[in-house]
Amino acid sequence: MVLLATLRLKKVIFSAIISSLLVAPFTALYAGSSHISRQWNGVIIQSTHHKFTRTSSGVPVSNCHVLSNEHVVRDTKQAIVFIAGRKYSNSTVVATDHANDLSLIFLPDCPIRKFASLSNVEPHKGDKLVSVYQERGFITGSRITQSTGLFEGYKNIITEEDRHMLSMVIDDKEPRKGASGGGVISEHGLVSVIFGVVNNRSQSRTFAVNYDALKRFLTVNHIQ
């Protein structure tokens, strides 16, 4: 792993959509992503923070668990999870990693049938990566979509919270607010989750949790 540079990205957007509780419920539409002849469904997550509802993304990583960001579920132990149009209201946050912005959500009854598998190969600079995340439309509500970019390498960034974080940088200009927690996959499987985006004309980029941190988090929590 090569540390390429240190960036002070105070404008990295932790890309959860925050909306009033009075906003009408959205519709989670079916979508998925194929790799290694398997298909899994992108996840939409709602969590409440100080009377506001965050709408973000996630990725299924077992029959019972969804992976997302720590900032998506901060200050709460409960979340509402939507997978392929189904709503799971009694989902519980069971693990978090504040330093690397990761969280794990447990779904009772283990309803997930298809989930992402962690890649056993760390991504290399120039690899094509696909991000799967939710986007919100004014007419259709939230839906799962995907976009593609090239892996540019690792950078040590300073977030809006003044935290140093080793981040994957992906040349993918599509993800916007609400993409936080979305899965990032290579041809070998899951390699990361999105935690933020920079949206401006000169340097639109997607930022994602580094592969080693993701692998360690899943291993510690006995996932895969």
The pLDDT of residue 138 is 53
- 209, containing H or E segment: strand 205-209
Looking at per-residue pLDDT, the higher value among 24 and 162 belongs to 162
Looking at per-residue pLDDT, the higher value among 8 and 131 belongs to 131
Which residue, 129, 99, 112, is CA-closest to 224?
112
Domains detected in the chain:
3-15+117-220 (2.40.10.10), 37-106 (2.40.10.10)
Could you tell me the CA-to-CA distances from 177 to 34, 84, 204, 212, 220 in Å, in that order?
Answer: 24, 20, 13, 25, 29
Which residue, 46, 50, 76, is CA-closest to 58?
46
20 forms bridges with which residues in the sheet? 52
What length is written for the chain? 224
The pLDDT of residue 37 is 35
Q: Residue 129 pLDDT > 90, yes or no?
A: yes
For residue 151, give the 3-state DSSP assignment.
Answer: strand
Q: What is the pTM of this model?
A: 0.83
Share of the chain above pLDDT 70, in %: 79
27-70 pLDDT tens trace: 333 344 444 335 789 999 998 877 788 889 999 999 999 999 99
Mean pLDDT of 85-111: 95
The token pair at 105 is 């959500």
Which three-class secondary structure string do you get for 54-110?
EEEEEEECCCCEEEECCCCCCCCCEEEEEECCEEEEEEEEEEEECCCCEEEEECCCC
In whole angstroms, what is the distance from residue 43 CA to residue 56 CA?
A: 8
Mean pLDDT of 200-216: 88
pLDDT range class, residue 83, cuts 50, 70, 90: very high
Token pair 């600079």 is found at 125
In whole angstroms, what is the distance from residue 139 CA to residue 120 CA?
A: 40
The pLDDT of residue 36 is 39
Looking at per-residue pLDDT, the higher value among 26 and 167 belongs to 167
Q: Residue 26 pLDDT > 80, yes or no?
A: no
pLDDT averaged over every residue in the chain: 82
144-202 pLDDT tens trace: 899 999 999 999 988 777 888 999 999 988 877 789 999 999 999 999 999 988 776 56
Contact 158, 7 (CB under 8 A): yes
The token pair at 176 is 């916007």
In whole angstroms, what is the distance from residue 113 CA to residue 126 CA?
A: 32
